[in-house]
Structure 1
Amino acid sequence: MEPSNIKDVGEVIRRVRKSKGLRLEDLADENISPATISNIERGISHGDRLKIVLKQD
């Protein structure tokens, strides 16, 4: 994934999270921290993999 695309994905995640009235803490769990979600939203990836955890209600 191109670096600019990673940032685009993060912006979409943030937009959807905010539209649903969710906090970073609401998406976090034992596998992904609020700080990691924040980094993803800001387009900052760590290492070669981008880990996105989808939680369903």
Structure 2
Amino acid sequence: MFDNPPLELEEIIDQCRALASTLVEMKQPETKEILTFILQERLEILHCAFHQPVAEE
């Protein structure tokens, strides 16, 4: 259907920033809980991507 390449580090950071910014303004508790869960997933992805061993060329 569509290509789903791995996210670049900058893209993950942008997503985390957007989610955090939205959460600050969010008033609906159900939506806030869901977005918090998504932010947690993205932060875990960011952590794993950041601590990934760098391949030597």
Q: State the TM-score, normalized to the length of structure 2.
A: 0.41
Structure holding more helix per residue: 2
Which has the greater radius of gyration? 2
Q: State the TM-score, normalized to the length of structure 1.
A: 0.41
